[in-house]
Amino acid sequence: MSRVRAALTPYALIFPGGVWLAIFFVVPTVVMLSLSLQSGNVADGFVFTWNWQSYVDGLTNYHDQIIRSLAYGLAATLIQIVIGFPVAYWIAFKGGRHKSVYLFLLLLPFLVSFVLRTISWQFLLSDNGMLLGPLKDLGLLPHDFRVLATPYAVIGGLAYNFLPFMVLPMYVALERIDPRVLEAANDLYANKFQTFIRVVFPLSLPGVFAGVLMTFVPATSDYVNASVLGGTNTTMIGNVIQNQYLVTQDYPTASALSFTLMALLLIGIFAYAKALGTEDVLEVAAR
Amino acid sequence: MTEIQAGAGVAGEATPDQVPAIELDEVVKEYVSHGEVVQAVKGVSMTIGEGEFFSLLGPSGCGKTTSMRMIAGFEEPTKGVVRLHGQDVTNVPPNKRDVNMVFQSYALFPHMNVWDNVAFGLKRKKVPDGEVRRRVGEMLEIVDLVGREKRRPREMSGGQQQRVALARALVNRPRALLLDEPLGALDLKLRQHMQIELKRIQREVGITFVYVTHDQSEALTMSDRIAVMNDGLVEQLAGPREIYERPATKFVAGFIGTSNLLSGVARAVNGSSAVLALGPEDRVIVPIKEAVAEGDTVELTVRPEKIMISTERPEGDLSMVEGTVSEVVYLGTYNSYAVALAGGAEITVFQQNVHDSTTTAERGDTVWLSWQPQHSYALQ
Ligand SMILES: Nc1ncnc2c1ncn2[C@@H]1O[C@H](COP(=O)(O)OP(=O)(O)O)[C@@H](O)[C@H]1O
Ligand SMILES: [Mg+2]
């Protein structure tokens, strides 16, 4: 009796999570996959016809936006590494007794809605707004200078919006480093710089890896930053998909594009894991 | 103290070997924690000879680690001077000091395999590749880890990690090796095995070892000399035999092994010994070092195995006291008696099981305890 119960316990424990995943992930994914292979229109309805054409159309018409999304996502991720690493390092090693305060301060802006934050940036960066306006009045910037509607604004917005997801895993990895290990390096004739290169950085890599996963994926598929901070030349694939769903109502193309993006990201992630010398992506992320 | 000079060459010759490996000169370390100044080390001086196995022994929190970290360079003394081989290194960072440390938690590099861990120091010192290979290989042989070069630390047992940590430090041929409770995390059997191993390795490489431990038996068996520390100060600095046989202070007597403390008023003093008044029939004679006047209270210590137990008042020039047996414990190789004296003190006596398993006295019996006066010591 108790043996049976012991054997069933793990299944009982994953049941709620399993149901959640089935309803909110598996079902929509299957529906979307099926949609992407249907043909028809909103007025007459869609029928399943193994219509691969949506994939071909999506790729031919929107490959610019796909490539742009990957490039913006990559750029934003790199910026976040450069900005986030010193922040995580500082909190982990110099934060002393106030580490949690600094982490809270880091997260504080992110308690405000994602969209609102982005709109605030739009307001701050607007062509004659509180930042650029005075500078233009003082003649420090030309009158046609703009930040909004440029790739810089979109990439900057992406980098800003997902920053905590980069900093937190890095912080966790750095914070876990035993200070004695750093002393050992110092004892074994390594100076501060060598200790950083040979010990601190390699030991922080699992955190960087997790941070990249957690920021590159949402940044690449994001549409809010491009639509709020961008212009006509900064459209990302997320905007195209949103447009196909809500405006054009071409569900098969929207679904096909979503799947294409998902496939590209998965391939990217596994290639990335391979490059870091690990077969198991999740193992690295969990380490 | 004669042991240190032993390996140091002919007496009187000023060879470089005779410069002490490590000197601490009135070293003080203060920390500020929560706005309060804490003195972790309150003025410690010691001279550690070349090739010596030197232990810092004391209870947790007495300042052993802090003293060692000042030798390694991780902490700067608040006051005082640290010298390595005669050179003042008080403000020299760890990577510029020719000593290496074995950490209590081992502190191995978790992302490197055994080989890379051991080679780390040599590579930082820019030793040529061929020599790195040769020396790392040799060192892994000494610590018996050949064939495990590719293992990561987390794939190894505690004892193996311990040996990697040892190899990683020793391979650099430091002028001194500092070990902070290196066997603390190992189980008893492995610890005893590693104690022997450490002694063997130390003899083999001939490097000065400074060994921190709170385990008195470990310190007694391994060390050439021991500094017994308490509350940031050195209580006694001597060889193991002297520390055990002639504890200088009450603290040392209590901390090392089992010892009995007695106190009494000096009734008669004649030069080098004093006669103490305890019970009316008792006679306690104790050698004294410092001037004691009649009427002074003198504390003395005597080890349980030095005391004889008998039912009759013994003959001869012995110290003797009368008491009542309050406990008898059979411990195989010896019996342990607890004897209550009239004055309230309780004395522990170990009696070797020489003859048979019968005991001299039972609980409740009145007995005489006696010992040679030279086996008792007046405490400072
Ligand atoms: N970094 C520090 N800050 C404040 N107090 C410390 C620090 N390091 C040690 N101490 C204090 O100094 C005393 C001695 O510590 P330590 O040298 O580690 O003792 P041991 O190694 O003998 O156990 C302890 O009371 C400890 O609390
Ligand atoms: Mg300690």
CA A51 to chain centre: 31
The answer to whether residues B175 and B84 touch, using CB atoms and an 8 Å cutoff, is: yes
For residue A7, tell me if it sits in a domain. Answer: no
Same domain, residue pair B94 and B191: yes
Of B30, B31, B71, the residue with max ligand 1 atoms within 8 A of its CB, to mutate for a pocket test, comes to: B31
Residue B183's pLDDT is 87
The owner of tokens 């391994």 is: B222
Q: Which residues of chain B does A209 touch, with a Cβ-Cβ cutoff of 8 Å?
A: none
User: What is the A217 CA–ligand 1 centroid distance (Å)?
Assistant: 47
The owner of tokens 């929107």 is: A62
> Which stretches does DSSP call E strand in A93-134?
none
- In the predicted structure, residue A81 carries a pLDDT above the cut 60: yes
Burial B133-142 (b: 16+ CB within 10 A, else e): eebbeebbeb
Same domain, residue pair A255 and A205: yes
The answer to whether residues A205 and A173 touch, using CB atoms and an 8 Å cutoff, is: yes
Q: Which residue of B has its CA nearest to A206?
A: B111
Count up the domains in chain A and report the number.
2
Residue B267's pLDDT is 86
Domain that holds residue A20: 14-51
Q: Please state whether beta strands A45-48 and B225-230 pair in parallel, antiparallel, or not at all (unpaired).
A: unpaired
Distance between CA B104 and CA B182 in Å, rounded?
A: 5
* Mean pLDDT taken over chain B: 88
For residue B291, tell me if it sits in a domain. Answer: yes
What is the per-residue pLDDT across B72-110, written as a single tens digit (0 to 9) for each? 999 999 999 999 999 999 999 999 999 999 998 899 999
Distance between CA A37 and CA A256 in Å, rounded?
A: 8
What is the per-residue pLDDT across B290-300, written as a single tens digit (0 to 9) for each? 778 888 888 88
pTM: predicted TM-score of the whole model, two decimal places? 0.79
For residue B225, tell me if it sits in a domain. Answer: yes
Count up the domains in chain B and report the number.
2
The answer to whether residues A147 and A231 touch, using CB atoms and an 8 Å cutoff, is: no
Same domain, residue pair A70 and A42: no
Residues 6+ apart with CB under 8 A from B92: B73
Same domain, residue pair B85 and B192: yes
For residue A235, tell me if it sits in a domain. Answer: yes
Mean pLDDT of B225-229: 96
Residue B258's pLDDT is 84
For residue B69, tell me if it sits in a domain. Answer: yes
Residue B380's pLDDT is 67
Question: Of the candidates A181, A133, A55, A221, which has an alpha carbon nearest to the alpha carbon of residue B161?
Answer: A181
Same domain, residue pair A251 and A166: yes
Instruction: Specify the DSSP element, H or E, that contains A175.
Output: helix A163-175
For residue A4, tell me if it sits in a domain. Answer: no
| % of residues, chain B, pLDDT over 70 | 94
What is the per-residue pLDDT across B281-290, written as a single tens digit (0 to 9) for each? 888 888 887 7
The answer to whether residues B54 and B209 touch, using CB atoms and an 8 Å cutoff, is: yes
Of B56, B66, B104, B181, the residue with max ligand 1 atoms within 8 A of its CB, to mutate for a pocket test, comes to: B66
What is the per-residue pLDDT across B236-277, written as a single tens digit (0 to 9) for each? 999 999 999 888 888 999 898 888 888 888 888 887 888 888
Residue B294's pLDDT is 84
What is the per-residue pLDDT across B331-358, written as a single tens digit (0 to 9) for each? 888 889 999 998 888 999 998 887 665 6
Q: Which tokens belong to A207?
A: 């955190």
Residue A286's pLDDT is 43
The answer to whether residues B101 and A187 touch, using CB atoms and an 8 Å cutoff, is: yes
Residue A256's pLDDT is 94
For residue B155, tell me if it sits in a domain. Answer: no
Task: Tell me the residue type at B309.
Answer: I
Helix (H/G/I), strand (E/B), else coil: A143:
coil
For residue A8, tell me if it sits in a domain. Answer: no
Residue A283's pLDDT is 47
Residue B358's pLDDT is 64
Residue B17's pLDDT is 53
Domain that holds residue B67: 22-98+174-253
For residue A160, tell me if it sits in a domain. Answer: yes
Nearest to B124 among A180, A181, A189 (CB): A189
Residue B352's pLDDT is 87
Concatenating the DSSP letter of every residue in A203-243 gives HHHHHHHHHHHHHHHHHHT--HHHHHH--GGG--HHHHHHH
Q: Whose CA is nearest to atom 8 of ligand 1?
A: B66
What is the per-residue pLDDT across A23-47, written as a single tens digit (0 to 9) for each? 999 999 999 999 999 988 888 888 8
Angle B308-B239-B176 from CA coordinates, rounded to 5° = 150
Who lines ligand 1 at CB under 6 A? Answer: B 31, 33, 38, 40, 58, 60-66
Residues 6+ apart with CB under 8 A from A119: A228
Q: Which CATH number is B184's domain given?
A: 3.40.50.300
Q: CB contact, 8 Å: B185 with chain A?
A: no
Same domain, residue pair B262 and B240: no
In angstroms, the separation between the Cα of residue A200 and the nearest Cα of chain B is 10
In angstroms, the separation between the Cα of residue A204 and the nearest Cα of chain B is 10
Query: Where among B208, B238, B253 does a domain terminate?
Result: B253
Same domain, residue pair B91 and B77: yes
Same domain, residue pair A43 and A74: no
The answer to whether residues A216 and A162 touch, using CB atoms and an 8 Å cutoff, is: no
Helix (H/G/I), strand (E/B), else coil: A89:
helix
Residues 6+ apart with CB under 8 A from B279: B321, B322, B341, B342, B343
Query: For residue B59, which ligand has an atom nearest its CA?
Result: 1
The answer to whether the CB atoms of A203 and B111 lie below 8 A apart is: yes
What is the per-residue pLDDT across A47-80, written as a single tens digit (0 to 9) for each? 888 889 999 999 999 999 999 999 999 999 999 9
Helix (H/G/I), strand (E/B), else coil: B227:
strand
For residue A57, tell me if it sits in a domain. Answer: no
Same domain, residue pair B94 and B64: yes
What proportions of chain B, in percent to the nearest 5, are helix, strand and coil? Answer: 25, 35, 40
- In the predicted structure, residue B14 carries a pLDDT above the cut 50: no
Question: Of the candidates A37, A41, A40, A39, which has an alpha carbon nearest to the alpha carbon of residue A50?
Answer: A37
Q: Whose CA is nearest to atom 18 of ligand 1?
A: B65
Among B76, B105, B108, B120, pick the best mutation site for testing chain A contact (most A Cβ within 10 A). Answer: B120
Same domain, residue pair A82 and A27: no
Residue B6's pLDDT is 37
Of B27, B29, B38, the residue with max ligand 1 atoms within 8 A of its CB, to mutate for a pocket test, comes to: B38
In angstroms, the separation between the Cα of residue A194 and the nearest Cα of chain B is 8
In angstroms, the separation between the Cα of residue A191 and the nearest Cα of chain B is 7
B-facing residues of A in 178-217 (CB < 8 A) are 178, 180-181, 183-191, 194, 198-199, 202-203
For residue A67, tell me if it sits in a domain. Answer: yes
Mean pLDDT of A240-261: 92
Same domain, residue pair B67 and B211: yes
